[in-house]
Structure 1
């Protein structure tokens, strides 16, 4: 497809997983894509694999100076932004009795403050009909043990999506939220390792709880992102699009 020919996008947390798949899809659809991530080697490898339409810019979204540098690069290239995907996020298992101030601050600084500042810093570069896509999580609708901090941070992102949509509508900018369920990513593999479980068996356990009885693929989340970045979704803003195999829908 070529629905993003001549467009420019930025995808945070694009070194691997869902962010990587979204960046690949946008590039395949013709966009020039700026990828961010904290791990330079992994980020540059992803950009190289995606192809000549990908530009790697090392950045930690919890650091304002990194975001300033990211958007300075885009500005210096003479680009305006058609799509911003605030995907960068993290989470660690922590039950109520074990949660610390440091864990709270780290989770919310990356997931919530990082999302807020990514969109805020992008504002001067947004095209008149730009789209903004935020990434939440199906954990916001569940009571999964140990996931309290992560789920709360992702619930905040859903709330921000509504407010951003209201505030940016006068500019013609649309803002929507994608809420994935269990997806085969390095993050899920890391969670399995933290639980002392084999990744394949952990995938089977998660899949068994879904109506579709399988894990999601990053490419399936990327397909939703491509839809929301296109004119095909031109009357959608402030909405939440669940791509969760029916996890919290059925």
Structure 2
């Protein structure tokens, strides 16, 4: 239960789904955690669920002032940062012909630009032996219907993972990515305006497309993140698929 005792972590997009499951795992193993989110209701519920070893703050993953405020909060609260899990992000199911410049910019800002710069803001607080984990997506290596802008952004993030792994390792900081397939218990499709009945049908179709014939569980992603962040001390620059074999088979 104290495997991560003394460790500090920041998890962006941590009030639901994969981020929340990862925060729970880290806290259960003894770490202190700062979690970010944007929605007041999920911020409140996550704080209640995570308890006193977590601080849940409102922070927009695309806002530079919010990034600066988060870095100041981490410095004030922890003094140093051992793990940065950059998880905030989502995709919009929009056919290529209907993608607007606004949608394209939103996908790139949230899924590539934001992760790049929040890492830049927090790296000065990260000592030798610390690590960064990004959430990419199997959509960056396998075409998934009307997710072209999202897939492009996640492919950019995969490239960022390699580049920062090379650039930061002289400081003793490892950088890796976890690549989820479709995950249950997330409401990401409803967040972008898809009705629940339609989103449920999408998840049924995705589960059938996965070689393992099921959706992943947030806890399965959390264990992969913990491995990359803490245990994989001889690993940097990789993207670890956790997608039921969808991107591989």
State how 1:45-60 maps to structure 2 within 5 Å.
Answer: 45-60=45-60
Aligned to 1:2: 2
Aligned to 2:19: 19
Shift of 1:162: 0.1
Aligned to 1:63: 63
Aligned to 2:188: 187
User: Could you give the per-residue CA deviations for residues 1-44 of structure 1, whole angstroms, max 9, x where no partner exists?
Assistant: 32210110000001111111111111111111000011133113
Shift of 1:78: 4.2
5+ residue gaps in structure 2?
A: none
User: Could you give the per-residue CA deviations for residues 132-163 of structure 1, whole angstroms, max 9, x where no partner exists?
Assistant: 00000011122222100111111111000000
Aligned to 1:143: 143
Cα RMSD of the aligned pairs, angstroms, is 1.6
C-alpha distance in 2 between matches for 1:195 and 1:45: 21
Shift of 1:191: 6.9
Please give the secondary structure, in 1, of the residue aligned with 2:34: strand
Please give the secondary structure, in 2, of the residue aligned with 1:127: coil
Q: Answer yes or no: is the 8 Å Cα contact 1:192–1:198 preserved in 2.
A: no
Query: In 2 relative to 1, CA 29–188 (structure 1 residues): closer, same or farther, beyond 3 Å?
Result: farther
Runs of 4 or more off by more than 4 Å in structure 1?
188-192
Q: Answer yes or no: is the 8 Å Cα contact 2:68–2:121 preserved in 1.
A: yes
Asked if 1:156 is matched to 2:156, the reply is: yes
Q: Answer yes or no: is the 8 Å Cα contact 1:192–1:202 preserved in 2.
A: no
User: Could you give the per-residue CA deviations for residues 167-209 of structure 1, whole angstroms, max 9, x where no partner exists?
Assistant: 000011000010000101111455793596261x433321111
C-alpha distance in 2 between matches for 1:224 and 1:78: 24
Please give the secondary structure, in 2, of the residue aligned with 1:43: helix
Aligned to 1:92: 92
Aligned to 1:121: 121
Aligned to 2:239: 240
TM-score normalised by length of structure 2: 0.95
Aligned to 2:39: 39
C-alpha distance in 2 between matches for 1:78 and 1:202: 41
Aligned to 1:210: 210
Q: Answer yes or no: is the 8 Å Cα contact 1:81–1:125 preserved in 2.
A: yes
Query: In 2 relative to 1, CA 186–119 (structure 1 residues): closer, same or farther, beyond 3 Å?
Result: same
C-alpha distance in 2 between matches for 1:246 and 1:194: 28
Tell me the number of residue pairs that the alignment of Structure 1 and Structure 2 aligns.
Answer: 248
Greater displacement, 204-213 / 60-69: 204-213
5+ residue gaps in structure 1?
A: none
Shift of 1:90: 1.9
Please give the secondary structure, in 1, of the residue aligned with 2:194: helix
Aligned to 2:169: 169
Q: Answer yes or no: is the 8 Å Cα contact 1:48–1:54 preserved in 2.
A: no
